[in-house]
């Protein structure tokens, strides 16, 4: 089951990448397209100048956004989530890209704060994982909760959720992105989610571990399942000993 999820996630990730590359090629031959500098709607482009329907910022011509020189991405491979251009707001109102998290082991889960069923238990599982990381190893680990309901889950809301769930130390990061970036990220994690009522979503319950280079190395699926393997994986990655 685990292997299947992993493979599926990686395949999807590759598909997204290929798609993105092909899009770029197509746009080269067309007239000047515009895009939102914040990528509110992912890679969506617009016919002419104007403002982004989501964040209202001025659209910029696509050409200006093409990187002029290759950025030094260290040892990041094609499979790394640090290649994703998406931008996220944290519970502290900071804007980050995933590659800002480079160098840390990332334990990631997708939730929404108004969930009454599965998410409180996923949050508990995340807390349980955090508790099993020795204090001196915590520096190298980030526990990241990504909202599947960015409409509702404002940074304020995420902050309140963090407080209620005892996730206030530096290790915890709660993220909210655009709808499109959230979809894309979920695809990478092989997480499915769907709005089933104005307030509720059905969703997969998967906790994923990424290494310091942003590559998916382990996933656990289910609620209240044993997280021994997940913790072992994390400890191996931070150079600790698994007991």
* Span interacting with Cu ion, options 12-20, 115-123, 168-176, 180-188, rule CB under 5 A: 115-123
* Span interacting with Cu ion, options 60-68, 118-126, 166-174, 227-235, rule CB under 5 A: 118-126
Q: Does 115 bind Cu ion (CB under 5 A)?
A: yes
* Span interacting with Cu ion, options 24-32, 45-53, 114-122, 147-155, rule CB under 5 A: 114-122
Judged by CB under 5 A, the chain residues 56 through 75 that form the site for Cu ion are none
d(CA 125, CA 158): 18
Closest CA to 162 of 212, 221, 92, 100: 92
CB of 76 to Cu ion, least distance (A): 31
CB of 203 to Cu ion, least distance (A): 6
Sorted by sequence, the CB contacts under 8 Å of residue 50 that are 6+ apart come out as 34, 58, 59
Total interface residues for Cu ion by CB under 5 A: 3
Question: By C-beta, is 62 or 109 nearer to Cu ion?
Answer: 109
* Span interacting with Cu ion, options 22-30, 117-125, 151-159, 160-168, rule CB under 5 A: 117-125
Q: Does 118 bind Cu ion (CB under 5 A)?
A: yes
Look-up of token digits 């929404």: 112
Q: What share of the chain is helix, strand, coil (3-state, %, to 5)?
A: 35, 20, 40
Q: Which letter, b or e, does each residue of 127-160 get, where b requires 16 or more Cβ atoms within 10 Å of its Cβ?
A: eebbebbeeebeebbbbbbbbbbbeebbbebbbe
Question: By C-beta, is 118 or 187 nearer to Cu ion?
Answer: 118
CB of 226 to Cu ion, least distance (A): 20
The two tokens of residue 227 are: 């997280």
Q: Does 81 bind Cu ion (CB under 5 A)?
A: no
> Concatenated DSSP letters for 96-161?
EEGGGGTTSEEEEEEE-TT-SSHHHHHHHHHHHHHHTS-GGGGGGEEEEEEES-TTT--HHHHHHH
Question: By C-beta, is 115 or 191 nearer to Cu ion?
Answer: 115
Question: By C-beta, is 40 or 119 nearer to Cu ion?
Answer: 119
Options 106, 119, 143, 231; binder of Cu ion; rule CB under 5 A: 119
Whether 237 and 99 have beta carbons less than 8 Å apart is answered as no
Strand 216-221 and strand 206-210: the pairing is: antiparallel
CB of 143 to Cu ion, least distance (A): 17
As a residue count, the chain comes to 243
Question: By C-beta, is 32 or 225 nearer to Cu ion?
Answer: 225
Q: Does 123 bind Cu ion (CB under 5 A)?
A: no
Q: Does 110 bind Cu ion (CB under 5 A)?
A: no
For Cu ion, the binding residues (CB under 5 A) are: 115, 118-119
């Amino acid at each position: 089951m685990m292997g299947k999820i992993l493979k599926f996630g990686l395949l999807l990730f590759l598909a997204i990448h290929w798609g993105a590359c092909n899009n770029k090629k197509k746009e080269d031959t067309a007239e000047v397209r515009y895009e939102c500098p914040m990528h509110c709607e992912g890679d969506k482009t617009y016919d002419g100048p104007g403002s982004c329907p989501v964040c209202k910022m001025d659209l910029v011509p696509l050409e200006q956004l093409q990187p002029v020189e290759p950025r030094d991405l260290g040892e990041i491979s094609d499979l790394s989530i640090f290649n994703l251009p998406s931008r996220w707001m944290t519970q502290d109102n900071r804007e980050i890209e995933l590659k800002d998290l480079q160098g840390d082991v990332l334990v990631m889960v997708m939730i929404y704060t108004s969930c009454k069923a599965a998410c409180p238990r996923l949050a508990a599982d995340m807390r349980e994982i955090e508790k099993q990381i020795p204090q001196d190893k915590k520096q190298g680990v980030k526990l990241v909760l990504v909202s599947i309901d960015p409409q509702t889950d404002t940074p304020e809301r995420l902050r309140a959720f963090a407080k209620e769930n005892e996730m206030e130390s530096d290790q915890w990061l709660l993220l909210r992105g655009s709808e499109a970036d959230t979809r894309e990220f979920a695809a990478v994690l092989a997480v499915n989610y769907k709005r089933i009522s104005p307030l509720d979503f059905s969703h997969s319950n998967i906790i994923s571990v990424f290494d310091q280079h942003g590559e998916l190395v382990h996933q656990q699926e289910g609620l209240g399942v044993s997280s021994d393997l997940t913790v072992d994986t994390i400890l191996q990655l931070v150079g600790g000993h698994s007991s």
